[in-house]
Amino acid sequence: MAGVKPRNNRDSSRPKLIAVTVLMGLAWATLWVRAGYLQLVEGERLASMASRQHLAAEFEGGKRGRILDRNGRALAISVESQSVYARPLQVEDAARAAAKLSSILDLPARKIRHLLSSRTNFVWIERQVGDKVAARIKDAGLEGVYLTTEYSRFYPNKHLAGQLIGFVGLDGVGLEGVERRFEDRLKGRKAQFVAQRDASGRKLYLDAQGREMNLDGKDVTLTIDARIQASCEDALERTLREHGGRAATALVVDVPSGEILAWVDYPFFNPNTYRRSSPSRWRDRAALDAFEPGSTMKPFLYAAAVQEGVTDDSKLIDCEGGVYKINGQPIRDTHPRRWLSARNALRYSSNIGMAKIGMELGAPIFHRYLTDLGFGRRPALSLPGLGQGLLRPAAKWNQIDLAAASFGQGVGVTAVQMAQAYLCLGNFGVRKPLRVVHDPARVPEEDENGRRIYSEDVVRQVLGVMFEVVEREDGTGHEAYIPGLHIAGKTGTAQKASASGGYGDDHIASFAALIPAEKPELLVLAEVDSPVDKFYGGVVAAPAVKEMTLRTLAYLGRPAPSPGDAALAAGGETAESWRRKAVAAAPNAQSGKDGATPNLTGMQVRRAVEILAKNGIIPLIKGSGPLVARQTPEPGASLPDAKGVTLWLAQGQDRG
Amino acid sequence: MRSNVKSTALSRPTDYWLLGLALLFAGLGLVMVLSASGVMAERFYHDKYLFFRKQALYCACGVICMLVAARLPRVFFHRFAYLWLILSVGLLALTLTPLGLSAGGAARWLKLGPVSIQPLEFSKLALVFYLAYFFSQKQGMVKTFSVGFLPPFLVTGGLCLLLLHQPDFGGAVFLAALLFFMCLVGGTRFSYLLLALFVASVGAWRMIVSSPYRFKRLMAFLDPFETARDAGYQLVQSLYAFGSGRIFGAGLGAGKQKLFFLPEAHNDFIMAVLGEELGFVGVSALFIVLGLFLWRAFRIALRQEDLQDRLTAYGAALILTLGFFLNLAVVMGVAPPKGVPMPFVSYGGSSLVASFICVGVLLNLSREAA
C-alpha cells in the first residue's frame, strides 16, 4: 500500500462498480416483478378491498333536516344513534362473536349465531343501540362486526301538529305529512366515497367527482307557531271534552299573509309512536276530509248575489214562515220568519232566504263563484294528499241541489278549502294563497295570486252582517263575542249525511271568524264532527273559536282592544290572556326593526329596559309590578330620543 | 479497452440519451402531479393547477441548474468539496433554529423568502462530492482506520445526527446508504464496512426499541393490513391504489385512491397513483425508461478514467438510483415508509432541482473522459 498506484486502484474500483451496477440491476428487476405481482396477481383482491372502503358509504348518510315552526322551534329533529351490523363473510369465529355479542346486546346467542352464519354480505344485528353498548361493541373489536351511525326521528313536542308534520318510517323515509311532502329536501344524502381525513378518523364525504358533500338534509320551516298551535290544540280538546264528538279540526290564519299559524286535528296523533297508532289517527282531517259545511257557506252566496246585483241589503225576501217546498222537497228554517231583508236572512241564517237568493242567482254563476273561491279544487298548498272536496258540475245541479248548495248542503268542502275561501273575504275579495310552509318558499301559481273575486264594498257589507252575527245578543254566533273586540263570524250547523242515505242525527258544528271585522288580521275556523250534547255551531264551535282567538292575539302581542277598553278591565279570559302574553311576547319583541319602537308589553321589566338600553334609551317607569302592561309610544312607531319612552307596569300572575 | 484513448478521445458528445430520459421523467412527473393533486388543490386552495404550476416552475429552475452543472468547470465539484459540505452542514443546522419550517412535527425545511428548501436533498450531493474527493485524494491510505475510515464516517455521522434531530430518520438512512455504497467502490476495507454495518444496526436497533411506537411504525410494512387503521394506513392505501391498477389501469386522472384516501398522493406516494391510473402496462413502460436511464448513468461512471470523476459520477447516479428504488419499495410495501420522494416525479422543488443537478453532473462528466 506504500506505493500509490492510482491506476491499480482505479482498476480495482471498476469491478466493484460493475458489481454495484449489477446489484442495482437486480434490485430494479425485483421491483418490477413486485409491481407485476401486486397488479396482476394481487390486483383483483386489492381492488375489491379498495372498493370496499368506498362502499363504506353504503350505510353512511347525512342527518335528516329538521322541521321548524315559524320562530325556529324544532318540531321534528333527528337524533344520532349507533346500529350494529355484521358482514358474515368476514366473521372468522362465529361462535365466539355470537357469544360476545349476546352478552353485550342481551340477545339470544343462537339468534346471533344464525345471523352470523348466513352467506350474505350484510346483516343487521341490532339497530339503534345505546352509547354504552356501542362502546362495548367497539372495544370487543370483533372481526366483521361493525357499528354505523343511524338517525332516529324525534318529535320533541309529542302530538303537536302531529298530523300536519307526519312521520318517517324505520328506514328514515317520510311517510306522511310534511315529512313525506318534503322528503327530497329533508332527507340526508349519501356519499359516493368516504375518506378518512386524519388519524382521528374524521370522515370526509365525497361525490363521484371527489368534491366534498354536505350530507345533511335541509330544514323545512313551517308557518305554524308552536305556541299558538299548542294553545289551540288545548282549546279544541277542551271543547271536545265538554261536548263530545268524533273529531274536530281548527285552523288559524294570519290574514294579510295567508300564513297558517295553527293547524289542529283532533284526536291528536303523536308521531313518536306512530307504530302503535292507526291510519285513522294520523289522517290529516283538515286537509283531507270533506264535510257539508252548512251555513258557513252562506256569506259566499250572499256576496256573490250582491256582487252580481241580484240582491241588496234591504231587499225583502219571503221566508215562508219556516217551511218551503221545492219540487215537493221541504226546506226548513230553525227560526221561522216571514219577511226578512236579505241582510237579515244572512244574519239569522235562513235556509229558505238563502235558497231563494241562490235560485235567483242561478246555478252557473254561483258555481263559478264557488270554483273561484277554491271549492272543488285541490288547494295549492305544499302538502301531500290534499282533498279536493266535492263540487259537482253546475250542469248537474237541479233546483234542489242549487237551493241546498245555497245553504251549504250537498257540497263537500275541506277545512282548508273553507279557510281559503274565508281568507278571500278577509282580504276584501282578493284571493290569496294559503301558506303552511315558510321555507322553502313556494312560487304561487299565476291564477291564485291577487285575483279579485268580490269588490271591496261587497265584502264590507258581508263583514258587516257577520259582525252583527257575533255582536248582537240575538246573533247565532254571540257565544264568540269578546268585549272590546270586533269579530265577524258565521256559524254552521250541518246535518251529516248518514251511511244509509239521507240525513241522520249527527251534525257538524262549525264557526268561522275574521278578526277584527273592520280590517281582518286573523282568521279562526273550527269544525266539530258529531258533538253529542249540543250540535249548533254557535254553541259548540263558536266558544272554541273565541278561546283560540283570545290566545292567539295574546301570543302575537296584538291585543286588539285599545287601552282602557272593557277588555282590559274585565276579568276572566283577559286576565288569562295577560298571563299568556307575558310568557309569549318576549321573542317577538326582539324582532322590532331598527329605528322602530319594539313591542315591550307583557315583557319582564328588566328585559324591556335592557332592550331599550341597547338603543340608548332610559325609559320612564310608572306603576309597579314585574311586567310591562302598556307602553308609549306604540310598538312600531319610530323610536323617540332618550327618555321618550314610558312603561306602565302591572302585576302578573304566576306562570304555574 | 479505452485506457489509451485518454488523449485521443478529446470530446465525446454529451449523453443526450440521459438528457432525454431525464426530461421524459420530469414531464411524466408534471402530468402525475396534476392528476394526483388536482382534486386536493381545488378543495384546499380553490386552484386545481396550483401544484402543477409550481412544479412546472421548479422544473424550469431544475433544467437551468442542470445546464449550468453540465457546463461548469469540474473544479466546482472537485475542489470545493469542503465548501459544499460546510454549506450543507450549515443549512441542516439552520433547520433546527427558528428559521426552520416545521411540518408534521419535523423541521426539515428552511424558509428562504418565498421558497422553502429541503437541505437534505442538497447535502446528498455535497456528501457525494466530498466522498469522491476524499477517496480519490486519500486513496493511498484508504485501507487504514484513522485516515481512510474515520473521516468519512465521522462526516456522514455528523450529517446524520443533524438529520435525526429534525427528525428525519429516512434522510439519515439515505445518507448512510450513500456512504456504504461509496465506500464499497472507494476501497474501504470490507471488514471495516461490516463492522460499521454492525455498529449501525445495533445503534438503529437501540433507537427503535427505545421508542416502541417508532418500532411499530417501522415494522408495520411487514403486515400493513394488521394495522390498517393507524400505522399501516398509508401503506394499505398505497397498496390498494397500486393493486387496483391491474393491467391497464383506471386511466389517467381516474384514480380513486387519491381522493383523500391516500395521504401525500402527489408527493411520496405519487407512484401509487401512477400504478392505479396507468396499470401494469404503464408501470412497465416506466420501468423500461428507468432501466435505460440507470444504465446510461452507470455507463457514464464506468467510462470515467479519473477516479474522482468516476466516483463523482457514480455518486450522482447513486443518489438518483437509491431515490427511485427506496421510493418504489415503500410504495409497493417492501420497505418501511420513510419519506423518500420519487426523483423527478414527486412534487417538490428541492428534490426536483437536486435531481436535475445530479443529471447535470453526469452530463458534464459524460462529455469527455478526462
Q: What is the pLDDT of residues A182-200, one digit of tens each?
A: 999 998 887 766 665 544 4
Indicate if A275 and A236 belong to the same structural domain. yes
Report the CATH number at residue A628.
Answer: 3.30.10.20
Site from B147, B178, B280, B334 to mutate, A interface, most A CB atoms within 10 angstroms: B280
Specify whether the CB–CB gap between B292 and B18 falls below 8 A. Answer: no
Residues A600-631 pLDDT 10s: 777 776 677 667 666 656 667 776 666 777 78
Query: What integer pLDDT is reported at residue A54 of this predicted model?
Result: 59
Nearest one of A384, A408, A179, A431 to A298, comparing CA atoms: A408
| Sequence-separated contacts (24+) of B89-94 with Cβ below 8 Å | B89/B123, B89/B158, B89/B159, B89/B162, B91/B117, B91/B119, B91/B122, B91/B123, B92/B119, B92/B120, B92/B123, B92/B159, B92/B162, B92/B163, B92/B166, B93/B162, B94/B119
Query: What integer pLDDT is reported at residue A643 of this predicted model?
Result: 53
A474 or A412, which is more confident: A412
Site from B261, B276, B288, B332 to mutate, A interface, most A CB atoms within 10 angstroms: B261
A39 or B106, which is more confident: A39
**Diameter over CA atoms, chain B:** 63
- Please report, in angstroms and rounded to a whole number, the separation of the first and last CA atoms in chain A: 108
Alpha-carbon distance of B133 to B186, in angstroms, equals 10
Report the CATH number at residue A102.
Answer: 3.90.1310.10
Contacts of B247 in chain A (CB under 8 A): 39-40, 43
In a domain? residue A264? yes
Average pLDDT over residues A397-413: 91
pLDDT band with cut points at 50, 70 and 90 for residue A219: very high
Report the residue from A1, A12, A204 with minimal CB separation from B260: A204
Nearest one of A419, A462, A415, A493 to A300, comparing CA atoms: A462
In a domain? residue A58? no
Query: What integer pLDDT is reported at residue A562 of this predicted model?
Result: 41
Query: What integer pLDDT is reported at residue B351 of this predicted model?
Result: 94
Indicate if A208 and A256 belong to the same structural domain. no
pLDDT of B369 above 90: no
Q: Are strands A339-341 and A437-439 parallel, antiparallel or unpaired?
A: unpaired
Query: What integer pLDDT is reported at residue A197 of this predicted model?
Result: 54
Report the residue from B240, B279, B321 with minimal CB separation from A50: B240
Task: Tell me which range, A49-58, A103-112, B213-222, is most confidently predicted by mean pLDDT.
Answer: A103-112
In a domain? residue A15? no
Alpha-carbon distance of A306 to A462, in angstroms, equals 9
Indicate if A405 and A524 belong to the same structural domain. yes
Grid cell, residue A509, equals 258544528
Alpha-carbon distance of A389 to A392, in angstroms, equals 10
Query: What integer pLDDT is reported at residue B325 of this predicted model?
Result: 96
Cβ distance B287 to A28 less than 8 Å, yes or no, reads: yes
Average pLDDT over residues B263-277: 90
Instruction: Kindly state whether B37 is in contact with chain A, defined as any CB-CB distance less than 8 angstroms.
Output: no
At B329, which amino acid appears? A
pLDDT of A7 above 60: no
In a domain? residue A54? no
φ/ψ region of A634 (left if φ > 0, alpha if ψ in -120 to 50, else beta) reads beta
Query: DSSP label at A221?
Result: E
Q: How many CA atoms lie within 13 A of A459 on its CB side?
A: 21
Q: How many CA atoms lie within 13 A of B253 on its CB side?
A: 7
Indicate if A277 and A206 belong to the same structural domain. no
Lowest-confidence pick of A67-71, A513-517, B46-50: B46-50
Name the residue with cell 457546463: B71
Lowest-confidence pick of A390-394, A524-528, A579-583: A579-583
> Which chain B residue lies closest to A37 (C-alpha atoms)?
B243
Q: What residues contact B149, with CB distance under 8 A and at least 6 apart?
A: B188, B189, B192
Strand ranges for A534-619 from DSSP E: none
Report the CATH number at residue A350.
Answer: 3.40.710.10
Q: What's chain A's average pLDDT?
A: 82
pLDDT band with cut points at 50, 70 and 90 for residue A497: confident
Residues of chain B above pLDDT 90, percent? 48
Q: Beginning with the edge strand found earlier in the chain, give each strand of the sheet holding A488-497 in spatial order.
A: A259-266, A247-254, A522-529, A503-515, A488-497
In a domain? residue A26? no
In a domain? residue A379? yes
Indicate if A193 and A297 belong to the same structural domain. no
pLDDT band with cut points at 50, 70 and 90 for residue A67: very high
pLDDT band with cut points at 50, 70 and 90 for residue A307: very high
Residues B304-361 pLDDT 10s: 988 999 999 999 999 999 999 999 999 999 888 878 899 999 999 999 999 999 999 9
Q: Are strands A67-68 and A220-222 parallel, antiparallel or unpaired?
A: parallel
Residues A550-605 pLDDT 10s: 889 888 876 545 433 443 333 334 434 443 444 444 333 333 344 567 777 777 76
Q: Which of A505, A534, A555 is the last residue of a domain?
A: A555
B75 or A261, which is more confident: A261
Name the residue with cell 271591496: A456
For chain B, positions 277-336, list CB contacts with chain A under 8 A: 279-280, 283-284, 287, 290-291, 294, 298, 301-302, 305-307, 310-311, 314, 321, 325, 328-329, 332-334
Cβ distance B287 to A32 less than 8 Å, yes or no, reads: yes
Cβ distance B184 to A47 less than 8 Å, yes or no, reads: no
pLDDT of B244 above 50: yes
Write the CA distances from A486 to A517, A586, B189, integer angstroms: 5, 26, 114
Alpha-carbon distance of B131 to B225, in angstroms, equals 41
Residues A445-475 pLDDT 10s: 655 567 899 999 999 999 999 999 998 888 8
Indicate if A248 and A328 belong to the same structural domain. yes
Report the residue from B259, B325, B333 with minimal CB separation from A27: B325
Query: What integer pLDDT is reported at residue A4 of this predicted model?
Result: 40
Alpha-carbon distance of A137 to A97, in angstroms, equals 10
CA distance A558 to chain B (A): 51
pLDDT band with cut points at 50, 70 and 90 for residue A56: low
Alpha-carbon distance of B131 to B155, in angstroms, equals 10
Q: Which of A216, A234, A266 is the last residue of a domain?
A: A216
Specify whether the CB–CB gap between A121 and A55 falls below 8 A. Answer: no
Cβ distance A35 to B260 less than 8 Å, yes or no, reads: no
Give the domain range for residue A599. 589-650
- Tell me how many degrees the CA angle A466-A467-A473 measures, rounded to the nearest 5: 105
CA distance A133 to chain B (A): 22
A184 or A49, which is more confident: A184
Contacts of B138 in chain A (CB under 8 A): none
Grid cell, residue B199, equals 455498529
pLDDT band with cut points at 50, 70 and 90 for residue B272: very high
Alpha-carbon distance of A301 to A462, in angstroms, equals 10
Indicate if A204 and A245 belong to the same structural domain. no
Residue A207: phi and psi, rounded to 5, are -90, -175
Q: What's chain B's average pLDDT?
A: 87
Alpha-carbon distance of A215 to A197, in angstroms, equals 16
A52 or A160, which is more confident: A160
Average pLDDT over residues A250-277: 93
In a domain? residue A60? no
pLDDT band with cut points at 50, 70 and 90 for residue B109: confident
Average pLDDT over residues A150-177: 89
Average pLDDT over residues B8-18: 73
Query: What integer pLDDT is reported at residue A201 of this predicted model?
Result: 54
Q: What residues contact A270, with CB distance under 8 A and at least 6 apart?
A: A155, A158, A159, A162, A277
Indicate if A138 and A207 belong to the same structural domain. yes
Indicate if A193 and A301 belong to the same structural domain. no
Alpha-carbon distance of A335 to A321, in angstroms, equals 9
Site from B242, B271, B300 to mutate, A interface, most A CB atoms within 10 angstroms: B242
Indicate if A540 and A612 belong to the same structural domain. no
CA distance A193 to chain B (A): 8
In a domain? residue A634? yes
Report the residue from A6, A38, A45 with minimal CB separation from B332: A38
For chain A, positions 6-45, list CB contacts with chain B under 8 A: 6, 9-10, 12-14, 16-18, 20-21, 24-25, 27-28, 31-32, 34-36, 38-40, 42-45
> Which chain B residue lies closest to A2 (C-alpha atoms)?
B140
Exposed/middle/buried for A106, CB within 10 Å: 0-12, 13-18, 19+? exposed
Contacts of B186 in chain A (CB under 8 A): 13
Query: What integer pLDDT is reported at residue A580 of this predicted model?
Result: 44
Q: How many domains does chain A have?
A: 3
Q: What residues contact A288, with CB distance under 8 A and at least 6 apart?
A: A385, A386, A387, A414
Contacts of A44 in chain B (CB under 8 A): 246
Number of H helices, E strands in chain A: 22, 20
Instruction: Kindly state whether A46 is in contact with chain B, defined as any CB-CB distance less than 8 angstroms.
Output: yes
Indicate if A89 and A211 belong to the same structural domain. yes
Alpha helices in A309-455 (DSSP H): 342-347, 351-361, 363-373, 399-406, 415-426
DSSP string, A558-578: ---SPTTSHHHH--THHHHHH
Query: What integer pLDDT is reported at residue A511 of this predicted model?
Result: 95
CA distance B131 to chain A (A): 14
Residues B189-241 pLDDT 10s: 888 888 888 888 888 788 777 777 667 777 777 777 777 666 777 888 899 99
At A227, which amino acid appears? R
pLDDT of A317 above 70: yes
Specify whether the CB–CB gap between A161 and A263 falls below 8 A. Answer: yes
**Diameter over CA atoms, chain A:** 149
3-state SS, A502-516, equals CEEEEEEEEEEEEEC
Number of H helices, E strands in chain B: 13, 3
Chains A–B, number of C-beta pairs less than 8 Å apart: 143
CA distance B168 to chain A (A): 21
Specify whether the CB–CB gap between A366 and A379 falls below 8 A. Answer: no
Indicate if A211 and A253 belong to the same structural domain. no
